[in-house]
């Protein structure tokens, strides 16, 4: 029926696509030297370089700060919440760090002489907001 010539198919496959050519050549517009410098410096972003470093610094400081605030300082109410065990541990550790041990308290009591001075008693009732 139909016979396909092998030579003809390969000739069509090898043919380059047709390119139109015009008789007039387009004018070449050459950029000025200042435009060359701007083109070299322009990477397609309008932001100055310090924005990127500031963004990285803020990322690495604000996120941990927000997490610490939510865990230790935010008011989640009186009910039990997910941060309650951490807050109890922190309170216990802070009290043990800021309080004296029984031995230290006894040393302080021994080193202080007993106080026998009494506070002076003022006569009469003072009105609110008025010094005597």
* Domain range for 88: 49-75+83-97
Cα gap 12→4, rounded to integer Å: 13
Assess if residue 59 is contained within a domain.
Answer: yes
Please count the structural domains in the chain. 1
Candidates 67, 113, 114, 66; CA nearest to 86 is 67
Top pLDDT among 105 and 59 is at 59
Tokens 């050459």 — which residue? 30
Task: Write out pLDDT tens, residues 39-71.
Answer: 556 567 888 999 999 999 999 999 999 999 999
In a domain, 71, yes or no: yes
Does the pTM surpass 0.75? The reply is no
């Amino acid at each position: 029926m139909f016979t396909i010539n092998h030579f003809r198919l390969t000739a069509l496959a090898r043919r380059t696509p047709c390119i139109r050519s015009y008789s007039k050549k387009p004018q070449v517009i050459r950029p000025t030297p200042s435009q060359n410098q701007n083109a070299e410096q322009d990477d397609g972003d309008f932001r100055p370089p310090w924005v990127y470093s500031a963004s990285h610094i803020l990322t690495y400081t604000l996120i941990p700060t927000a997490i610490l605030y939510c865990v230790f300082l935010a008011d989640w109410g009186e009910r039990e919440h997910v941060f309650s065990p951490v807050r109890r541990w922190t309170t216990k550790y802070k009290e043990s760090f800021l309080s004296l041990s029984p031995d230290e308290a006894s040393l302080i009591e021994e080193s202080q002489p007993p106080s026998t001075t009494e506070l002076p008693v003022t006569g009469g009732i003072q009105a609110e907001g008025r010094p005597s």
